[in-house]
Amino acid sequence: MERTTGQLADGRQILWYDADGTHRTAVPDRRDLPTTVTGSQLRRDPLTGEWIAVASHRQSRTYLPPADQCPLCPSRDHLSEVPSSEYQVVAFENRFPSYELSAEVPETRTEGLEQIRAGRGRCEVVCFTSDHNSSFAELTPQQARLVVDTWADRTTDLNAMDGVEHVFPFENRGKEIGVTLQHPHGQIYAYPFVPPRAQTELEHAQAHLNEHGSSLFGDIIDSESAAATRVVTENDEWIAFVPFAARWPIEVHFYPKRQVPDIPALDDAARDGFVEVYLDVLQRFDRLYDEPTPYIAAWQQAPVSSYRDVAWLHLELYSIRRGEGKVKFLAGSESGQGAFVNDGLPEGMAQRLREVN
C-alpha cells in the first residue's frame, strides 16, 4: 500500500491510499475555503456520567447534494473535497467535525453539576471508492482490503495523537439511517474518552475474566460455534453470527478467531479473511428486500491506554429495517429507558441470512 499526504485549502489533512504502488503526487486544493472554527465542547451529564459533545457548527454541514455536486467525488467537473481526478481510497479531516484537536472553551469546569471541557479529538472521512454509485458490498476483494489497510493506518496514527483515548471507525449507510452524503464512505471518530458502548462491553469483559478466568469474547465465539443456529458464515479466520440477544431487526457480529486488540494488529491472513466474510454478509443484507438494506457498521477496538489485554476486536453490523418498506424507530422503551425490544428471533434472522439467494 502506498500513502500520499496532502493538505486541503483550509489546512485540513488529506491522505490518498493506493494498493498498486501508484506514486501519487499531492494535488493542490484550488478552493477558496475559510478556516473552520469549531468551538466543540464536552458537557458531562450528571445523571449518567457520560460526556455529550456540543458542536453547533455542524448545523451548516452539507446535506444531500445532487450527484454532480458530490463533495466526495474526485474533482473533475466541480471542485470537491478530493482535489484529484481519480483515487482508490482517500481519508481526510472532516470539514464539520464533532471533535477537533484545537477546540477551546471559554472556561473549563471539572467539578460540580455543570462540568465542561473542550471537545478535543479528531473526525475523519474515509471514501471507499471514487465510484459515486457503488457501495461497500460492491467493492472487489482487493478494494475492500485496501479499505481495511486504510482503517489500520488511520487507527495507528490517531492512537498516537495527544488526548485521544478511543478510535472508532464506522459506516452509516442509507437515507433511512440519516446519511447526508450518498457517496460510499465511512467515518472515524477519535474520542478524548472511552465512549459508553465500548466502556460497558470492556467492563463486562473484565468482570468475566476476573470471575471465570477466560475471555468473555472468546467464550461467546465458542458458544456461538457450538450452537451453530445463529452463525451466518465463517472461514478459518473469522466468524459472523447474529448475537444471542440481538437488539436490532437485522444484526450480525464479526469476530476474528484469534484475539487482537485492534485493526492494526490483524495480519494479512486475518485481513483477507475479514474481507471474505464481510462482503458475503453485506451482499446477503442487500438481497433480503427489494431495496438495499440501510445499516450501521461499528468497529469495537481497544482503547488507547486501557483494557488492551481484555479487548477483542470485533465489528457490529446492524440495520433498522424490520420488513419490506418498514423501519424500526427507537420509541418509548428504547429511547426513554434504553430497553430494546426485538420483534424477531435472532435464530430466525440468522436462518434467513443463510438462505437468502
Cβ atoms within 10 Å of 69's Cβ, excluding its own: 12
Q: Helix crossing, 268-287 with 141-159: angle to 10°?
A: 120
70 is annotated as contributing to ligand binding: yes
Pick from 249, 241, 216: nearest CA to 334 = 249
Question: DSSP for 235-255?
Answer: -SSEEEE--TT--SSEEEEEE
66 φ, ψ to 5°?
-65, 155
* Residues forming beta bridges with residue 255, ordered by sequence position: 239
123 is annotated as contributing to ligand binding: no
Cβ atoms within 10 Å of 140's Cβ, excluding its own: 11
Asked about 185 being catalytic, the answer comes back as yes
What does the alpha-carbon distance between residue 267 and residue 148 come to, in Å, rounded to a whole number? 11
Q: What is the DSSP letter of 29?
A: -
57 is annotated as contributing to ligand binding: no
Active-site option among 23, 78, 185, 204: 185
132 is annotated as contributing to ligand binding: yes
Cβ atoms within 10 Å of 354's Cβ, excluding its own: 14
Handedness of CA 164, 264, 318, 71 (dihedral sign): positive
Residue where the block lists cell 445532487: 66
What does the alpha-carbon distance between residue 182 and residue 219 come to, in Å, rounded to a whole number? 38
What does the alpha-carbon distance between residue 161 and residue 190 come to, in Å, rounded to a whole number? 9
Question: DSSP for 80-112?
Answer: -SB-SS--SEEEEE-SS-S--TT---S--B-SS
Q: Are the CB atoms for 119 and 55 separated by under 8 Å?
A: yes
Binding residues, by number, are: 70, 73, 132, 183
Among all residues, which ones are annotated catalytic? 185
Binding residues for Zn(2+), by number, are: 70, 73, 132, 183
